Amino acid sequence: MFRQLLVLLLSVFLVSSAFAQEQPAPAPDRAATGGAQTLEDILARQRGEEVDNSFRSDAIGNLEGGADPTGQLGTLGGVSDAEMWRGLRFNEADITASNNGPAATVLVQDGGMRWLLFREGPLSSYGSYLLLGTIGALILFFLVRGRIRIDGEKTGQRIERFKAVERFGHWLLAGSFIVLGLTGLISLLGRKFLIPMFGHESFAIIAAGSKWVHNNVSWAFMLGLVMIFVMWVYHNLPDRTDINWLLKGGGIFTKGHPPAKKFNAGQKLIFWSVIILGGSISASGLALLFPFELNMFAATFAKMNSFGISDILGLGPLPTDLAPHEEMQFAQLWHAIVSFILMAIILAHIYIGSVGMEGAYDAMGSGQVEEQWAKEHHSLWVDEVKAKEGSAPDGATPAE
Ligand code: HEM
């Protein structure tokens, strides 16, 4: 499943950057326009084809190259009007602006339209299909498999599974994630679904409120993420029992339960998904929260190019010269794509931690689980707990 997740992540990554990778069409003959763009260039763009723009982006004149301006018939520099506008268009002009900031001197950047179309099109629709598909699959699973019951006789004895601080960390993470998920979906899809329902004025308030809540609750999520990482990383290191657990499919469709320690392999996959995807969502979220301060994509693309990763993936060289706005556009897309994936994973987690399995919720509710549940799902952990309980405080031999 980990491999599948990796493949999924990679393919998502490819989709997000694919628009920059299309092979340019062969250059048309531009003799008739003296090298300027032709009707064919314009039509090709309208057909959605990638036009190699270097004939324009490179034709921005040469400030140094003009005839001596002080001499007879001297020019005003080596840059014509057309070349100056092309310089502005391709972010090469030497601009002085009255305001500061990395984006201030970028007057034209052309990633915006592609980003907008991707955000409103495939991102919104495939993201929604993923969430609705996951909910559908969980309902189907419930109808086929039913609730996973405690097989044996309940003992009435309870074992402490999670301490108060662990439950606090979990619910901080869970509560904030749910709020962030909902407010994030409002920001992405609200215009489409909420404006028709509530009208523009009400939506303006909902959208502004959502943004405020989303920006501020993100800190709780990051804190929760650090807490559960510190508290649970040790119990989530892979070991031999995981292979057996995975080979037996966690015993979901078979009789009997494969032995597991405190966390079984399925839970470890959830844990590492939360840490890695949650960490990536936090990083891209910080880039969005502090605009133009954390530019990660050009540097990542450069590394992928130099290690040959982009070639192995068949992407060709990835763009490494990104306008500050394009960095933000990539950050937004990555943030949303990874969030959709984690939301789908978490829907499955919520299902199994509540209605899907008898006795599971208590672990995060009261912190105390039925001993029979623990023996069935985490037999090796119960053995460890019993061994510890049996050993006297002075370190005497464990009870048999
Ligand atoms: C209403 C929502 C949720 C419920 C009912 C729920 C329930 C649970 C339960 C019962 C456990 C303990 C399982 C055990 O004893 O073995 C657990 C563990 C865990 N939860 Fe949640 N949870 C929820 C939301 C979330 C969210 C939103 C996240 C992360 C964004 C999350 C992350 C985790 C992690 C990493 C673990 C440890 C690994 C695991 O048991 O899968 N949970 N949760």
231 lines ligand 1 (CB under 6 A): no
Residue 59 has pLDDT above 80, yes or no: yes
265 lines ligand 1 (CB under 6 A): no
The pLDDT of residue 73 is 64
Q: 271 C-alpha vs ligand 1 centroid, how far in Å?
A: 9
The pLDDT of residue 254 is 79
pLDDT band at 63 (very low <50, low <70, confident <90, very high): low
Lowest mean per-residue pLDDT among 20-24, 40-44, 176-180, 228-232: 20-24
337 lines ligand 1 (CB under 6 A): no
Ligand 1 pocket mutation pick from 161, 170, 375 by most atoms within 8 angstroms of CB? 170
Q: What percent of the chain has pLDDT over 90?
A: 65
The label of the residue with tokens 């599948």 reads 4
- Nearest ligand 1 atom to the CA of 342 is 30
Residue 226 has pLDDT above 50, yes or no: yes
270 lines ligand 1 (CB under 6 A): yes
246 lines ligand 1 (CB under 6 A): no
pLDDT band at 121 (very low <50, low <70, confident <90, very high): very high
Domains of the chain by residue range: 111-390
Bigger pLDDT: 107 or 173?
A: 173
The pLDDT of residue 15 is 42
Residue 24 has pLDDT above 60, yes or no: no
pLDDT band at 155 (very low <50, low <70, confident <90, very high): very high
Residue 287 has pLDDT above 70, yes or no: yes
Bigger pLDDT: 265 or 6?
A: 265
228 lines ligand 1 (CB under 6 A): yes
Span 111-390 CATH architecture: Up-down Bundle (1.20)
Residue nearest to atom 28 of ligand 1 (CA): 174
Bigger pLDDT: 69 or 120?
A: 120
88 lines ligand 1 (CB under 6 A): no
The pLDDT of residue 87 is 87
pLDDT band at 365 (very low <50, low <70, confident <90, very high): very high
Bigger pLDDT: 393 or 377?
A: 377
Q: 7 C-alpha vs ligand 1 centroid, how far in Å?
A: 24
354 lines ligand 1 (CB under 6 A): yes
Bigger pLDDT: 81 or 134?
A: 134
Q: What percent of the chain has pLDDT over 70?
A: 87
